[in-house]
Amino acid sequence: MKVKQYGKIFCNLLWRDLVVLKSSIVREMINTAFWICLTIFVYAYLMPQLCAGGTFGMFVLVGSIPCIMLFKAVNKAAELVADLGGRQSFLYYFTTPLPYWLIFIRRAFSIALYTIPLSLLMFLIGGVLIWDQMDFSNASILKFIPIFLASNFLVGFCSLWFASWIEKIGDIEAAWFRYVFPCWWLGGYLFSWETFNLNFPLIAKINLINPILYTIEGIRASIIGQEGQINYWICLGMVCLFTIIIAIRAIVLFKRRLDCV
């Protein structure tokens, strides 16, 4: 009975998020299109003229999907931090008949709902821009869907975790420089983990604690193919494991921060 009741309220909260997303999706898409168009121009057209291989554009485009999710998620964390420091509309949800942990989970789901269409649309736009370089001969939609969805939920909880410890909006820089930048840059956005491991084995092994690495490698494995990437199933498992760890940590920290019941 309770599960049904909570489920209904949870769905209504997500419905609210979709209503909000509908009104802002065009603006968000235009913003993100700048990133993807410039990325495609540099890595698919400019870099091959210098030294990179002809398929480098597709390699980077696929690796960009989790990065777009991550950047959007950090913006959402900043929004939440600003809200908590100001009007506190987020706190209203703690007066609804839901347990506190579900309200936090809903926030992460809400971010995933927001990053799913944006990152997917950006991938499609990027794909059209480098259509002649795209090779889907090793792609598997059945592999892509789970890793794509799991990656979105992972960044949703990452966003919640950032917001759980960033005290004020000015401190968002700490999240960017200490976590987002290393995770993004070492996550294999421009190179595979295998290449990294061949050249810097120690750092590459330390980098295995980077959750974004598994999202990038897993999505690449599902679109470009398994060769040269970390095993797809390991990636999917690690993304799920990191999601659970980060979710628990974020909920514990947030509960302590808000002192909610």
Partner 1 sequence: MADTLISIKNLSKIYNSKEGSIKALDNISLDIHAGEIFGLLGVNGAGKTTLSTILAAFHPLTSGDILYNGISIYKDIPSYRYIVSYCPQTPNLDEELTIEQNLLFAGRYFGMPEDEVQKRTKELLDYFEFSLYAHRKQDVLSGGYARRLLFARAIMHKPKLVILDEPTVGLDPHVRHGLWDIIRMLKKQGVTVILTTHYLDEAEVLSDRICILDKGKIKLIDSPEKLKTEYKKGNLEDVFIELMKEDVLACDHEDGLPEEEENEG
Residues that bind partner 1 (CB under 8 A): 2, 5-6, 8-9, 12-13, 15-16, 19-20, 23, 87-89, 91-99, 259-261
CB-nearer residue toward partner 1: 234 or 258: 258
Least CB distance to partner 1 at residue 222 (A): 33
Shortest Å distance, C-beta 4 to partner 1: 10
Query: What is the distance between the alpha carbons of residues 182 and 159, in angstroms, rounded to a whole number?
Result: 16
Distance CA 192, CA 230 (A): 8
CB 90 to partner 1: min, Å: 8
CB-wise, 99 or 201, nearer to partner 1? 99
Check if the beta carbon of residue 167 is closer than 8 Å to that of residue 191: no
> Smallest gap, in angstroms, from Cβ of residue 81 to partner 1?
15
Which one, 113 or 180, has the nearer CB to partner 1?
Answer: 113
Cβ-Cβ contacts under 8 Å for 212 (sequence gap 6 or more): 66, 67, 70, 183, 184, 187
In terms of CB distance, is 97 or 199 closer to partner 1? 97
CA separation for the pair 3, 1 (Å, rounded): 5
Among residues 36, 26, 255, 234, the alpha carbon closest in space to that of 150 is found at 234
